[in-house]
Structure 1
């Protein structure tokens, strides 16, 4: 009997009862062919590979991660909670030693959901990886975590959630934002002042093939991970870089995805995008499962794949090689800018204990416009207390206050003071508090 080198748990949740619409790319059929392929290939007959059912994420799991306005129930369905619960189940399997690795094959996806949530954007309501990460840090300690997002679209939501978090490294490989939604993810986006350098974006040109993706992994991602030394590596495993995906412009193959996973060697993978329901997902998911289990995947190939047809041009190769050198050099720059320069480079302004920036966010799926004033305590000892004023076309002025994981005494005191003042101020319709140090999650105003 074939045996897995690494024991693998596969959590499967296709969400048959949920879709944005009957013809939308994110719909019920997305994982049906994957389910058939995995069973036809006998994946679960391999010793060491086991299928698991997802959990249902609790409201508290979401509340420790997001400011949801007016509440969690208004911005996500039971299917979203089960999708996040599938990611949590993957974390449990690995963290408790039941499996070496785990792959959450779940939908709906989540990596475009930001810290503040008023609705759905980029097909995402809540950020399932972030919910999982915060579950890990709540239950298993304040670990250093690296997220490598290989979805074709920039993981702007995950970047936003961890923009100010010095203990979470976020790396996104994606199609250049000048050519694809959400129009972000450029090298200059490197994290907030308290976590500068803990965000790394690798924008790749359209028509990048296996060669380009694997070059970026080997020459940028792996050296950075080796320097950061995370306790856990998570692959935000979007599959819409595939050459057959209907809404992107890349030339990645199923075998290339498997090789990427072998090189990256993540503890946990969580499915994100990928909308070639028949042409890509069954083959890519099989390849990733085999690679995570340490089993040969060379036989995995799409029936219509031709390496010559989908090879990248010499110009694309040269561009990626140059970009990789620049990104790695920038990450390892010997001298970080001084605080005032950092404040300016990250788009903030000083306001007493806080640094402040204004943001506008558009929810393309739900047609919602949101405005924010984000204030973070400038702190050398922790990630800094967050004060987020937010209002949108569906919600009045509201406030979120977060005391971060590992908060220092000063930031804890500031967070408590901000919350006390907010609850006494009638200008805020809703107030939500995330106190990670004391593990308190509260909502006011409804």
Structure 2
């Protein structure tokens, strides 16, 4: 019998009752083929590989992260509660030392869901990794978290949620946003004034192969993680970089994903995208599981795998090296960048326009952040959609200083409710979520 070097937990949730439509790439077969492959390969006979049952999150768990318009129940199905709950189950098992690491193979995915949620975008309603992380911060005293998003699409929702958080390092490795949804994720997007450099975007050119991805992991991601010293590492484990994926234009493989996982050593991995349902996902997932457990994965190969056929060009290699060097330089300048962004200001504002491509909703946000050298800063978001919903959302960060707590409470207390459908307060230090309406 094979024995795992590391006790590794798995949870499967295919979400039989949720699909955008029966033929959409984001459908239950994404995980059913993986389950069949895992059984066929005898993964559950490996000593040290443990399967957990799905769990659920509560509305309170969701509200630590999101402002859902008009309500949590209006933007989530039962499958979303279970998908996020299954990620939470793996996180809790790691924290309780039931396992060394774990992989939540779940759907629906979540990394395009931002802090304010009016509907679905990029197949995502709520951010399942963020819900899990904030649960662990509340109940398991986790502080510093590194999120490494290896989905082919930029993790713009996770970036938005942690844009102002100096205790969260968010690294997204993705296909260049000039060539792929959501059209963002460039190196100059590096975090707010209180957390400059804690967001690192690594846009890779189309047709990047194993050499390019692994170069970035070894020469950029691992040195940055060593500097940051996170309490936990979370991998948003999207698998749509595979050379057979129908939605993207990259040349990664099952062997490459396994090696990436072996190098990254995530405490928790959560499935995101990946839409080559038969030709890639079963093999990529098996490779990731074996790598997390410390079991030989060298024989895991998808049909038709030919490393020479997908090898990247010299031009792509040169572009990747330049991008990696530029991102490392930003990381090394993070403290001076933060000082420059904060100099002479009490507040910073930004306005953004957001399209919910899955639900066809347009949102406009006006955001105000308090400049703070002690915490992530009190945050105020005035959000309105073309469906007639306007809300005011106030966020007080978990590790807020007294001045930011006072500012957040003042914004909430003084808000003119007659101008909004609802006014929300996300009071993380007290683990409280309040709302008022006209």
| Coarse TM-score class (shorter-chain normalised) | over 0.9
Displacement of 1:142 in angstroms is 4.4
Task: Calculate the TM-score normalised by the size of structure 1.
Answer: 0.96
Residue number in structure 1 paired with 2:418: 426
Residue number in structure 2 paired with 1:412: 405
**Secondary structure at 1:193 match in 2:** coil
**Secondary structure at 2:419 match in 1:** coil
Residue number in structure 2 paired with 1:31: 31
Q: 2:357 aligned with 1:364, yes or no?
A: yes
Structure 2 Cα separation of the partners of residues 16 and 142 of structure 1: 33
Q: 2:334 aligned with 1:342, yes or no?
A: no
Cα displacement string for residues 282-337 of structure 1 (whole angstroms, at most 9, x for unaligned residues): 00000000000001100000121111111111111111112212221221138614
**Secondary structure at 1:241 match in 2:** coil
Structure 1 Cα separation of the partners of residues 103 and 417 of structure 2: 45
Structure 1 Cα separation of the partners of residues 8 and 198 of structure 2: 29
- Residues 9 and 52 of structure 1 are in contact (CA less than 8 Å); yes or no, is this contact kept in structure 2? yes
Which stretches in structure 1 are left out of the alignment for 5+ residues?
Answer: none
Structure 2 Cα separation of the partners of residues 242 and 363 of structure 1: 26
Q: 2:431 aligns with which of 425, 435, 439?
A: 439
Which stretches in structure 2 are left out of the alignment for 5+ residues?
Answer: none
Displacement of 1:170 in angstroms is 0.0
Cα displacement string for residues 138-175 of structure 1 (whole angstroms, at most 9, x for unaligned residues): 11114100000000000000000000000000000000
Which has the higher mean CA deviation after the structures are superposed, 91-100 or 425-434?
Answer: 425-434
- Residues 70 and 395 of structure 1 are in contact (CA less than 8 Å); yes or no, is this contact kept in structure 2? no
Q: 2:189 aligned with 1:189, yes or no?
A: yes
Q: In the superposition, relative to structure 1, how do residues 142 and 378 fare at CA in structure 2: closer, same or farther (>3 Å)? A: farther
**Secondary structure at 2:213 match in 1:** helix
Structure 1 Cα separation of the partners of residues 32 and 342 of structure 2: 48
Cα displacement string for residues 390-426 of structure 1 (whole angstroms, at most 9, x for unaligned residues): 000124221111110111111111111111112x431
Residue number in structure 1 paired with 2:386: 393
Residue number in structure 2 paired with 1:160: 160
**Secondary structure at 1:383 match in 2:** coil
- Residues 13 and 105 of structure 2 are in contact (CA less than 8 Å); yes or no, is this contact kept in structure 1? yes
- Residues 69 and 395 of structure 1 are in contact (CA less than 8 Å); yes or no, is this contact kept in structure 2? no
Displacement of 1:27 in angstroms is 1.3
Displacement of 1:76 in angstroms is 1.0
Structure 1 Cα separation of the partners of residues 279 and 372 of structure 2: 49
Cα displacement string for residues 10-32 of structure 1 (whole angstroms, at most 9, x for unaligned residues): 01100011100011111122111
Structure 2 Cα separation of the partners of residues 425 and 256 of structure 1: 53
Q: In the superposition, relative to structure 1, how do residues 334 and 171 fare at CA in structure 2: closer, same or farther (>3 Å)? A: closer
Residue number in structure 2 paired with 1:6: 6
Task: Calculate the TM-score normalised by the size of structure 2.
Answer: 0.98
- Residues 142 and 406 of structure 1 are in contact (CA less than 8 Å); yes or no, is this contact kept in structure 2? no
Structure 2 Cα separation of the partners of residues 431 and 395 of structure 1: 15
Aligned length: 438
Structure 2 Cα separation of the partners of residues 14 and 335 of structure 1: 43
Q: 2:261 aligned with 1:268, yes or no?
A: no
- Residues 196 and 337 of structure 2 are in contact (CA less than 8 Å); yes or no, is this contact kept in structure 1? no
Structure 1 Cα separation of the partners of residues 252 and 184 of structure 2: 21
Dislocated runs of 4+, deviation >6 Å: none
Over aligned residue pairs, what C-alpha RMSD do you find?
Answer: 1.4
Q: 2:296 aligned with 1:296, yes or no?
A: yes
Structure 1 Cα separation of the partners of residues 435 and 96 of structure 2: 31
